[in-house]
Amino acid sequence: MCPQFTAIDSQLNVREHLVIYGRLKGLRGDELQKNVITLMKATELWRYRDRLASKLSGGNQRKLALAIAMIGAFLCRSGQYLVLKFDEGNPGVLLIDEFSTGIAPDTYVLLHLCVLTIR
């Protein structure tokens, strides 16, 4: 789920957010690291991985919120698509409430492309 408000912890960086949410969804070891890296690259947050989430721009905070919603849902990258894994720990639906509200046009396009590449 990606809430309308930005639900981030001001004392955690981008990578730490994804690791914590990944662990909450049952990811461990290589699978956790693969998901974290894939999402940071897909949302273009890789270069900000060690930055405190509270220091990110509003658009990058929305990218982080989307990545948090998607953590644990990836099986692999298949060509140009990210393939979702459907099992008991990962529902087959991604709920996103106005995740692109108030962000710059280039970020808007990136987020929509990211969502559209999910199959």
Assigned domain for 4 exists: no
Assigned domain for 63 exists: yes
CATH number, position 104: 3.40.50.300
| Number of domains forming the structure of the chain | 1
pLDDT in the model for residue 2: 55
Confidence of residue 75 (pLDDT cuts 50, 70, 90): very low
Assigned domain for 3 exists: no
Assigned domain for 107 exists: yes
Average pLDDT on 72-98 reads 58
For helices 58-70 and 105-116, angle between their N-to-C axes, nearest 10 degrees: 10
Cα–Cα distance measured from residue 73 to residue 78, given in angstroms and rounded to the nearest whole number: 14
pLDDT in the model for residue 90: 58
Range of the domain at 34: 14-116
